[in-house]
Structure 1
Amino acid sequence: MDNRSTSAPPVRVGLVGFGYAGRTFHAPLLRTTPGMTLTAVASTQAEAVRQALGDEVDVLPHVDALLQRDDIELVVIATPNASHHPQALAALRAGKAVVVDKPFALSAEQAGELVSEAEHRGLLLSVFHNRRWDGDFLTVRSLLHSGRLGRIVHAELHFDRFRGQVRPRWRESADAGGGLWIDLGPHLIDQALQLFGVPEAIGADIASVREGAEADDWFHGQLRYASGLRVTLHASALAAHPGPRFVLHGTKGGYRKWGLDAQEDMLKAGQQPDPARPEDWGADTQSGELRLWRADQPGDLLDAEVLATQRGDYPQYYRAICAALRGHGANPVPPMEALMVMRLIDLGRRSAQERREVAW
């Protein structure tokens, strides 16, 4: 076991933004990651920051004040989507390592500029694609590696919710960075790329379906692969009966899992992971359903099996970031992988606008 990290100085972190993402995800995970210290928060909500984090974290009025701090090594961008690119670029130019909440940027062009800047300066740049550590995603990845389902011919990834009332917030506005495709699309696309690789083409239908909607709140996409595999990506803000989170159809059987990973709700409820008891974090009581074909049986009978869902592990992301900054491990989400997500986001928009499939 490598114990060098125990004697290394802590990674001092500056968090930009204390809205939903900063308050719910990043601050709790940063504060409970061994080897990291949340040192300062740049936010206009100074009182909210102090109430949540206490006096041991400095509150700064704007990002420029944070970037001028010599004691900040890592900057985490958790502000509205439209500000990700300019703030991450400024942080890199200030010599800071950077984590950007998803989406990486508003376009592949913006994301590519950040990748080039980080490479030029030799700085770590990563994107918080936390859904790689959902318990059901980890379960699906293990199941695919096992080969139990045979060759996968069709997969479905859903992110369905019911949000009947349009709320006055930037995520649902017509401004740049609003809408479901740029909000939840990166989650589903990143998971598909991790599970199945780069597709040959994408077809997408993106729409606004709620009364008074200013931005898209529904999408249905399909990734087509050279093997013949089709991967469906679907999200809706009007899904009173949500679809299954994952469905896999293979030549030897199938898998289906309902319900979202529990970690977001745990964090929203104020729970925090305990580094001393990792087994207490991320449990998902919603099991998956396996149906497996037995070739030794007559006909096409399927055996049913319950498959327990693995424990989710969002804390792993910042543990890996800390190790990467100290030279003990790899970047958990390399920027080139996040750039590929943004390329498919762009191609999906083009597909929806032109009402046709677009080649990668």
Structure 2
Amino acid sequence: MTMQPVRAALLGFGYAGRTFHAPLLEAVEGIAFSLVGSSRPDDVHALYPNVRVSSAQDAVVDPEIDLVVIATPNDSHFPLAAAALRAGKHVVVDKPFTLNLQEAKDLQQIANEHNRILSVFHNRRWESEIKGAREVLQSGVLGQVTHYELHMDRFRPNVRQRWREDPGPGAGLWFDLGPHMIDASVYLFGMPQAIQGSLATLRHGGKTDDWGHAVLHYPHMRIVLNASLLVAGTGPRSTLHGTAGTWMKYGADPQEPQLQSGMSPNDPAFGIDPDGGVIINGATGEITPATPQRGCQQKYYESIRDAIRTGAAPAINAQDAVNVMTVLDAFYLSAREGRTVPLPHGSNQQE
């Protein structure tokens, strides 16, 4: 028996909607990418001529839609997601899930009350470097891991006029990249026991943070997360240190530039990253290549499709979203007050 496709609406057709969500939704079998909530119908129809366009407010209550994907400015995530859930839709929200932890908990409660799937788009779990880190951890080749470091640094010295760089709720570099790095940390190691955070605005004329640094505390390890818009060099993006050796990976996963170029996620070359990083033997110093991992962000939406069709839990659920917002809220508190902030229910995974 052929199952009916999941009819999806995408709210927002800016960078995230156009680059990530639209092509991934279009590529996944069993999802019918049907509607875009946008004020720019010409831009939508230039790429997707057969997709309907409406306002975001109309899209969340459209009777022909099962799944609403929210890729609008950060301060609109909560009201649009709440409206869609109350209208009986399943919901995916781009990161950051909400502006604060309380909004995240409120959305989780609304989803539970209406028995709807609620997820956050932490697509980078399906990138080659996060898959590579997970593979190395599971192999045990590094012994007991004591340090994980993840950098999402860029070189963008010129301040641009856009909502992400203008003062306001949900603006700034850390709201953009912090959730990705926090999710990777929690995915790989569980919830931390405490966090130290620091923010700065370092570019001339900057109006929001453009540098952020976090240290996550675990019983027998530390995680260092860093994001900057003033890094032109090429240090390792991902590093794991352990009692038996080190894994380092340089260079980013290829999926974002591939999607920017118009490559379909169904292209045989999509997601292929020939660089798996290197493993350094602590006792001998021998350097060996690690096994490359292929990125596959489309699997996020395959998981959402299967969850809607079968009732199974999606790969990333509402509690995952709440966990990241718990750490993100604590990070901002730490950065404001200049102190280490403890977190409830910290992981004992490394004990």
**1:303 and 2:306 are equivalent in the alignment:** no
Contact 2:200 2:209 survives alignment (8 Å): yes
Residue 263 of structure 2 contacts residue 270 of structure 2 at CA under 8 Å; is this kept in 1?
A: no
User: Counterparts in 2 of 1:71-220, with a 5 A limit?
Assistant: 71-220=64-213
Question: Equivalent residue of 1:39, what SS?
Answer: strand
In 1, the alpha carbon distance for the partners of 2:82 and 2:69 equals 12
Moved over 6 A (4+): none
Q: 1:195, 1:67 → 2: CA distance?
A: 34
Q: How many residues align?
A: 343
Q: Which amino acid aligns with 1:305?
A: T
Query: Match for 1:313: what amino acid?
Result: C
Once the 2 structures are TM-superposed, how far is the Cα of residue 302 of structure 1 from its aligned partner? Answer: 2.0
One-letter amino acid matched to 1:342: M
Alignment RMSD: 1.1
Distance 1:355 1:206 in 2: 10
Alignment partner, residue 25 of structure 1: 20
User: Structure 1: where are the runs of 5+ without partners?
Assistant: 294-299
* Amino-acid identity (%): 45
Determine whether 1:289 maps to 2:278. Answer: yes
Kept in 2, the 8 Å contact 1:154–1:229? The answer is yes
What is the CA–CA distance in structure 1 between the aligned matches of 2:311 and 2:62, rounded to whole Å? 25
Question: Which amino acid counterpart does residue 310 of structure 2 have in structure 1?
Answer: G
Give the counterpart letter for 2:257 in structure 1: D
Cα contact 1:181–1:345 (8 A) shared by 2: no
Superposition deviation, residue 328 in structure 1: 6.3
From 224, 239, 247, the equivalent of 1:232 is 224
Aligned residue identity for 2:61 = Q
Q: Which residue of 1 aligns with 2:261?
A: 269
C-alpha deviation, 1:67, in angstroms: 2.4
**Match for residue 327 of structure 1?**
310
Q: Which structure 2 segments of 5+ residues have no match?
A: 344-351
Matched residues in 2 for 1:243 and 1:339: separation?
A: 31
In structure 1, give the amino acid aligned to 2:82. Answer: L
Residue 318 (structure 1) aligned with residue 301 (structure 2): yes
User: Distance between the aligned counterparts of 1:242 and 1:165, measured in 2?
Assistant: 19
Contact 1:13 1:72 in 2 (8 A): yes
Deviation, 1:287, is: 3.2
**Secondary structure in structure 1 of the residue aligned to 2:212:** strand
TM-score by length of 1: 0.93
- 1:36 equivalent in alignment to 2:31: yes
Displacement of 1:139 in angstroms is: 1.1
Q: Is the 8 A contact 1:161 1:242 kept in 2?
A: no
The one-letter amino acid of 1:48's match is D
How much has 1:68 moved relative to structure 2? 2.9
Deviations 1:302-341 (A, max 9, x none): 2210113200000101111111100064311111011110
SS in 2 for 1:194: helix
Q: Is the 8 A contact 1:84 1:100 kept in 2?
A: yes
Q: Residue 246 of structure 2 aligns to which amino acid in structure 1? A: G
Q: State which of 240, 260, 278 in structure 2 corresponds to 1:248.
A: 240
1:218-240 CA-to-partner distances (Å, cap 9, x unmatched) read 011100101x2000000100001
